[in-house]
Structure 1
């Protein structure tokens, strides 16, 4: 699909836009290791009801680029939050709904937490998708759950960095298979997203993300104040719909996020979808229904 480009913060963000200008704005944010192609079958279902849908490539994906070689290729949660907030401002979106899963769900949650006046609602896969880095650095999960995070520990090593650089598509395809055990995606379906991993900053951003979340590397100093604010772990007060993916083996790594009432003061609905880690691509109609609750 054709992309547009806009300067937003430290990025030239590549994004797709669909629907009627002036309609209710919705920003859909993808995760790792996916792309905007996750939302292809969601977009039409939202534009049909008058939405103005924006789907960006995250930092390190597709045609999105950093504006300067001096910017830290950070994948930390505060960076993702600022990216989404800066995009909303650059496009002059009027309090959009923000929806996402995995990294995109984290960005959507954090914008709703840090700048609630900039959005009108949140659709989040998995619930409270905010990292408690201090706890993650010191508190192990049960071994059966830790095993599912093998890719994170792999990327903690320089061997893992080299492996991702050489086998980015193979690793991504393996993760798709493990994380969505009931989804039978085709080769062409995967290939359409795998193109986004050829970004020159993909490896650096991904490796930094999975090291920073365990406190193994420093973040970009530009986001120190934001990370400190996130660490206070406040509630999210905007209207929220939570999507629970019942077949997602990764969601169990964040069991606390399922205490939805403790994290969302205006919880409008909880939708349980019988799918894996990528609900918008696995069950697009039902994911679109979850967004339409707030439309």
Structure 2
């Protein structure tokens, strides 16, 4: 257990030193020839889906990675996982948590996933290959409906995947063709360390739309953002339509602030 001050290269600090638990633990095999990756999970609240997210991350088929959970309150995690407590004295946003997770890591890449998602076993290996192109600063992939979802969740997933629900952005929720993008959600977002340092991290306390902020900064700095359908996570759907629409509306409203700006 230790306290760690913020790095000026990865976004502004909005609170005091973080409390790090499990600093010496390593998730996955010892580092070898593969680039190192820090999987950063900004925790909203403890839940069965969060615990499934952690289990799935630990089961990834990749040579060199760590799992970092960033939370405002202490939560039980496996010994292989590094838990970072914000010590902010308030609820922090996901962008703030992601910045803090990056500050406690020396990895070559940062892989961001939401606490209600679970990665495909080849998630990291397929993403890291794309970074062989030195102009690529970030990679995203689809967040598909998990296998075994109940009917109401499948219905929510079908809405996301439809033109009515997502319009031209349906590829974010089901595999589409590989393409460059200028904005991508953070539930499945892998970031090159050099690019993260150049744009100074996420740099916002917004809840929803913070991913638009960093994507705009990356594009402005000259980095490519690539969507690839093979970089898959399984993203839990809202089972009730009203909750689903409220979630879409909340994120869309915050994204609109940045578009207008």
* TM-score interval for Structure 1 and Structure 2 normalised by the shorter chain: 0.3 to 0.5
Q: TM-score, normalised by structure 1?
A: 0.35
Q: TM-score, normalised by structure 2?
A: 0.39
